[in-house]
């Protein structure tokens, strides 16, 4: 997903500055970044991807059986 960024001077939703870069994606959506305050329209999506540490948790008891799927999976 490569985007092309342009200085279209769209107002920043956060600070109102027109020092912004608008990125147009081939998939049909746009994102905006503000050079004045650092606002990014995709900040919430990026935060959702990085909020989990990804650590592996250990079970409290070793004698628990491994769950078996009840129905088969189809690809």
20 with 34: CB under 8 angstroms? yes
The predicted pLDDT at position 70 comes to 66
Say if 38 falls within a structural domain. Answer: yes
Summarised one tens digit per residue, pLDDT across range 10-43 is 999 999 999 999 999 888 889 999 999 999 999 9
The Cα-based distances of 19 to 3, 4, 29, 48, 51 in angstroms read 18, 16, 20, 26, 29
Residue 30 resides in a domain: yes
The predicted model scores a pTM of: 0.60
CA nearest to 3, candidates 31, 43, 35: 31
26 or 48, which is more confident? 26
Contact status, residue 18 vs residue 11, Cβ threshold 8 Å: yes
Question: Using CA atoms, how far apart are residues 60 and 66, in angstroms rounded to an integer?
Answer: 13
Domain count, the chain: 1
> What is the domain extent for residue 33?
3-42
- pLDDT over threshold 70, residue 65: no
């Amino acid at each position: 997903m490569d985007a092309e960024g342009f200085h279209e001077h769209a107002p920043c939703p956060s600070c109102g500055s027109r020092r912004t870069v608008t990125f147009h994606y081939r998939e049909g959506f746009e994102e905006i970044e503000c050079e004045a305050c650092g606002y990014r329209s995709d900040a919430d999506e990026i935060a959702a991807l990085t909020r989990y540490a990804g650590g592996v948790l250990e079970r409290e008891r070793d004698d628990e059986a491994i769950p078996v799927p009840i129905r088969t999976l189809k690809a």
